[in-house]
Structure 1
Amino acid sequence: MKRYLHVSGYSARYLLLATLSLPFIVVSPLQAATPVTPIAQETREPEAATGLQTQQLTRYPKAMVAAAHTLASDAGQRILQAGGSAIDAAITTQLVLGLVEPQSSGIGGGAFILHWQADKQELTTFDGRETAPAAAGPYLFADNGQVMSWREAYVGGKSVGVPGVLRALADAHQRYGNLPWADLFSEAIQLAEQGFPVSERTAKQLAMRWNQGLTQLSPAKAFFYPAGEALAAGKVLKNPDYAALLRRIAAEGVSAFYEGANAQAMVQAVQQAAINPGTLSLTDLATYRAYEREAICIPYRVYHICGMAPPSSGGIAVLQMMGILAHFPLAEMTPRSAETVHLFSQAARLAFADRDHYVADPAFSTVPVAGLLDADYLQQRAALISVKDQTHSAGLPQGAKPLAAAPAIEFPNTSHLSIVDAAGNAVSMTTSIENVFGSGLMVNGFLLNNQLTDFSLTPREGDLWVANRVEGGKRPRSSMAPIMVFDADKQLKLVIGSPGGSRIINYVALSLVAVLDWQMDVQQALNLPRHTHRNDYLALEAGTDLIELQAALSAMGYDVRVQDLNSGLHAIEVKESLLEGAADPRREGKVSGF
């Protein structure tokens, strides 16, 4: 059942699922219940924080770009000044990010895009998630009957999904672009040809040699490790191959990426990879489609919070957390207290329990979205939370089928950009190639993703299939969670999102609470110390005053671990006469505008 929300002066193309009155199955906290089983997760963070320092709020009167690199933000801002739309600026910003921040995103990966068209009061989303090649199957990552470890699986061709970000951006540009397609490529082409200084973060990640493939596979090895040494911070790096490809795409359109010489080069790189050759085909590339999907939204206090539908689990999980937390007086609670961390962690545990059981590509599995976001179901979930103890029971949403829960490792090597243009249009876009430097395979100056390892490598648990198993043409589950918030007058209030792998869900939800409940400005919200729970253990951000809560939280029964939590949030809050923007101090982001 679909229902659109029509409010005076507001006709949004999104599905307000929380207003549906549907039957569902719940388990009362007084009844026997299924345990919320802790799930093993990768614990090592490949990008350590360089030291958390607060940043200052940025204000501009007309338009703004908040992105993960100075060169990318400035390039997007110049597009806005030239009369470009939010989606025009997003295209330029992404093309530059793929050049100067290649470890995190690029045209060899995928993205989820929320777009707000102010004059039509229209919210649209574009799903540019990668897909598995048609020849891939549930046992793609099984070797002689044994499931490969994640570290074995991500390197090389087997993990490469069909890239989707360019197709999604091209589709969005057809609908919402102001400037000619070719004009949006000049900034990245110029930087690639003239060179740019390697950032400290890129140099540090190269020095760590986290990605095995990058040090073993050509041509990436020679590009990032000339003469066997990692590129140093400040070195001027040119990428003529990337510039040449962008010139072809600018002149010929997105087909120059998905067909012809570039497509043949991608297929050859994957199928003939020296490590884990894969099955990507020319047909897989030529037939890739981005999907325009309805956003999912719930009411929260006087606001409406909207995000991506599946295959994003991030949108559902963030909305579930907020729907659960809406039943508690957060505005009266103290940030950075044990009680607040406990409450937030319990909401996160419940959301992750549902995520790991039910969320996958909706074209392959019935995802009970309406049940998961139903207001009564979220109230029942909130009732499971004790103010003193950890939660030990969970319910079952409407439409759920018995499937096995299984994790999929997602690393924080992603990027997010938030944009508002001079007409009030906005983009919230999270983009990724998954692991740091993706699969390690490089083609025409860009890296190919390893997003197929976002599937569960194990397709079955006992007699039950895992919803997020590999299947040909399927999109892997993602935690990316671009979000927009609308105020009581149904006007755009907040554009936000973050990298961070599966921790994205926690990062974004905490920032929403900070702005909407604690009335912090967006920079104060992004400066907050991080804490996360993924239904595994409670992580407190190292180097912050949260570690003072470790003893109290341990006494409550938590497995508490202190570690770097490398969010990379970028946010813009729309005020009456200006825009306020923020970049996460944990990374190299910048807010540009005019």
Structure 2
Amino acid sequence: MHQTARQTAPARPHRSILGLALAPVLLAASLALAPLAASGPAHAQGGDPELSSPFALRPLVRTKSDMVVAANPLAVEAGHAMLRQGGSAVDAAIAVQLVLGLVEPQSSGLGGGGYMLIWDPKAKKLVSLDGRETAPAGALPDRFVGGDGRPMPLMRAFDGGRAVGTPGIPALLAEAHKRYGKLPWATLFQPALQLARDGFVVSPRLALLLKGLTPQLKDRPDMVALFFHTGPDGSLTPLQAGETFRNPAMAHTLEVLAAQGPDAYYHGILGQDLAKHLADSALPANTPGGAPALVTAQDLAAYKVEERAPLCTPYRQWKVCSMGPSSSGGIAIVEMLGLLEHFDMKGLGKDSPTAWHLMVEASRLAYADRDLYVGDPAFVTVPKGLLDKGYLADRAKLIDPAHAAQGPVAAGVPPQKQGALYGPGWQADIPSTSHMSLMDGSGMAVSFTTSVEFAFGSGMAVDGYVLNNQLTDFSFIPTSPGTGLPVANAVAAGKRPRSSMAPTIVFDQAGKPVLVVGSPGGPAIIGYVAETIIAALDWGLDAQEAVSLPRIVNRNGTTALENGPWAPPLKAGLEALGQTVELKSMPSGLHVIKHTATGLEGGVDPRREGLAAGD
């Protein structure tokens, strides 16, 4: 590829928490982030089905005018090529997504959904587009309740297309292009189309996930047909790293979309294929718990991208803007930052256990509110007072800098709360997502998070691409046990399930974007992105340093700390403050652009196989 970005070489040792140097001599230790070959998908709340790739230090990338940062080098090459042809950051994002759906099918694609923030420097306007999937018109609140009245097991929820929502990505890409595209629509498909026809080399990460998830995928005929070799004896072997994979079915899909636009998907042959495949895979009527309504051609025809008001709030001298509901990610992040604004994070610095403790305690409070109040705004009145300065000041008083809260904290009672009372629900909260950050020479910035939910989505595919299982992001129970109150994130026809995706852009006092950031990670996205914002703004770290810090998340329970050579001293420091700490793999996929006085910095998460490039 054209690699004009200037990289520091070699990568300088990263000084991580408590002054521990993550020098190359410790890389072997850092591979302990996860016993990869032994890992498998977690079937409980908070699992990490994407698995961790070996942690590998990355150099800081610097460019002068434009940059693409995404999860796969082939996708970055496609986006960079669009910029070099005079395309906008939106054109580049579309090309990146189309390639990611081919080379990183476990995370995103045409069968999924996503959220996109676009900064238009000419109009000085931030546009927020919601391309989240929707439940089919026939969906009922008890969709994921088993015959015994209890939430059904997660893997059973995937059967027969029960978990598939109406995909939003084709419509989202088309809407963004209609508003901000410069190159012809069909041009953006050429890199992905060539790779689908001619083949691409299977990456180590794709091979790792196929191997790790073989026990689940081998029972899914669509996955076997796409990603496995069948031996003479019927044995199944997943695609191997280094082999060439061609996807002619995907090539045909891309040809049709390139020629006919999104109508082919929502009103034409591609949508007909999708609806028929789901109908052919439907569960029998006598299935325990019932046979659910599936996505139909009518659901596809009714789908619309929603433009949302961006969720923006001051944070010290900056303005942080993220995605509003139907995602809960932005609202939880800005609530966390509003709480932490009451503490001297800069003075404490990254090597202070107290600073990390404060992030954990703010996280508890934000997750408590997020879990109770946030849902699709077409169905749920989300309290505006969650970000009220007085409310956040009162909530911040609950944080003790010297000691951790014990047990889950209660959600607050924000002002301006209207509508129904809600109770807590239960959802699977499983991550398999991708994030890209882009800036072009005009100053346009794009922060785009995209997902099929679980690794390889529902385990179903049509026309060469994976179908999502985003409906498992709904609460599996429609009413809260004990209280009988409705759950804000309960299933309903046409409703968007609550997400944690949080594409974010931070602006300086002059109104110019200084940070473009986002991550995969399911509900942990909230903690990943908030931590990175603090690292870049309060601690002054460069883009690569910020994404290379240890991950830490508390979802209003045990504190999860990323395992690695930094873990023992930080764990001890947190436990001295009363935290209960669990060491685990935390496969974030942060991709960051930081705008500085000398140009752009690109940060690539060392836990995945992404790349930053530009001119």
| 1:77 matched residue in structure 2 | 80
Letter in 2 for 1:395: G
1:384 aligned residue (392, 398, 404): 398
Look up the match of 2:562: 541
Q: Secondary structure at the match of 2:516?
A: strand
Q: Counterpart amino acid of 2:140? A: G
Q: Show structure 1 runs of 4+ deviating over 4 A.
A: 274-278
Residue 208 of structure 1 and its aligned partner are, at CA, apart by 1.0
Q: Is 1:500 the counterpart of 2:521 in the alignment?
A: yes
**8 Å contact kept, 2:82–2:188:** yes
Equivalence for 2:165: 161
Is contact 2:53–2:587 with CA below 8 Å preserved after alignment?
no
Partner residue in 1 for 2:308: 293
Q: Distance in 1 between matches of 2:399 and 2:306?
A: 37
Asked whether 1:319 is paired with 2:334, we answer: yes
2:92 to 78, 89, 92: 89
- The match for 2:237 is 229
One-letter identity of the residue aligned with 1:587: R
Task: Tell me how far apart the structure 1 counterparts of residues 255 and 200 of structure 2 sit (CA, whole Å).
Answer: 18
Alignment of 1:528-567 (within 5 A): 528-567=549-588
**1:28 alignment counterpart:** none
The 8 Å contact of residues 485 and 492 in structure 1, kept in 2 or not, is answered as yes
SS state at 2:401 partner? coil
Mapped contact 2:130–2:308 kept (Cα < 8 A): yes
CA distance 1:560–1:155, change in 2 (3 Å): farther
Report the counterpart of residue 208 of structure 2 in structure 1.
204
What corresponds to 2:257 in structure 1? 249
For 1:237 and 1:184, how far apart are their aligned partners in 2?
21
Pair 356,93 (structure 1): closer, same or farther in 2 beyond 3 Å = same
Q: Give 1:18's aligned residue.
A: none
Q: Which residue in the other structure is 2:478 paired with?
A: 459
Question: 2:432 pairs with 413, 430, 435, which one?
Answer: 413
Which of 411, 414, 428 aligns to 1:397? It is 414
Q: Which residue of 2 aligns with 1:8?
A: none
Counterpart CA distance in 2 for 1:405 and 1:163 is 27
Which secondary structure does the structure 2 equivalent of 1:465 belong to? coil
* Structure 1 Cα separation of the partners of residues 46 and 119 of structure 2: 36
SS at match of 1:229: strand
1:552 CA displacement:
3.9
Q: Judge conservation of contact 1:269–1:441 (CA < 8 Å) in 2.
A: no
Distance 1:565 1:164 in 2: 27
Indicate the residue corresponding to 1:195 in structure 2: 199
Q: Does the 8 A contact of 1:479 with 1:505 survive in 2?
A: yes
Counting matched residue pairs gives 553
- The aligned residue for residue 6 of structure 1 is none
2:362 matched to 1:347?
yes
Distance in 2 (CA, whole Å) between partners of 1:404 and 1:279 is 27
User: Per-residue deviation at 1:556?
Assistant: 3.6
CA contact (8 A) 2:161 2:458 kept: yes
Q: Cα deviations across residues 462-502 of structure 1 (Å, max 9, x unaligned)?
A: 31111000000000000000000000111111110000110
Answer yes or no: is the 8 Å Cα contact 2:368–2:410 preserved in 1: no
Q: Which amino acid aligns with 2:195?
A: L
Instruction: Report the CA distance shift for 1:300/1:349 in structure 2 as closer, same or farther (over 3 A).
Output: same
Pairing of 1:127-142 with structure 2 (within 5 A):
127-142=130-145
TM-score normalised by structure 1 residue count: 0.91
Secondary structure, in 3 states, of the residue corresponding to 1:305?
strand
Unaligned 5+ segments in structure 1 are 1-39
Preserved CA contact (<8 Å) 1:159 1:278: no
What SS class does the counterpart of residue 93 from structure 1 fall into?
helix
Q: Taking structure 1 as reference, are residues 319 and 537 closer, same or farther at Cα in structure 2, changes over 3 Å only? A: same
Q: Secondary structure at the match of 2:276?
A: helix
Q: 1:217–1:274: 8 Å Cα contact kept in structure 2?
A: no
Matched AA of 2:366: A
CA distance in 1, matches of 2:375, 2:351: 33
Instruction: Please tell me the residue identity of whatever aligns with 2:223.
Output: A
**8 A contact 1:416–1:430 mirrored in 2:** yes
Correspondence for 1:308 among 315, 320, 323:
323
Name the structure 1 match of 2:248. 240
Query: Which residue identity is paired with 1:397?
Result: P
Q: What are structure 2's unaligned runs of at least 5 residues?
A: 1-42, 231-235, 284-290
Q: For residues 341-391 of structure 1, what are the alpha-carbon distances to aligned partners after superposition, in whole Å with 9 as ceiling and x for unaligned?
A: 2110000000000000000000001111x2011111111111110112223
Task: Identify the residue that residue 449 of structure 1 maps to in structure 2.
Answer: 468
Match of 2:459 in 1: 440
Alignment partners' CA distance in 2, 1:311 and 1:161: 14
Q: Select 1:217's aligned residue among 196, 217, 220.
A: 220
Query: Following the alignment from structure 1 to structure 2, what is the Cα–Cα distance between the partners of residues 155 and 112?
Result: 26
Quickly say closer, same or farther: Cα 1:497–1:490, change in 2 above 3 A: same
1:290-312 deviations in Å (ceiling 9; x for gaps): 01111010100100000011011
Q: Check whether the contact 2:561–2:582 (CA below 8 A) recurs between aligned residues.
A: yes
Instruction: Calculate the TM-score normalised by the size of structure 2.
Output: 0.88
1:488 and 1:372 map into 2 onto residues whose CA distance is: 24
| Paired amino acid for 2:560 | A
Equivalent-residue separation in structure 2 for 1:210 and 1:518 (angstroms): 42
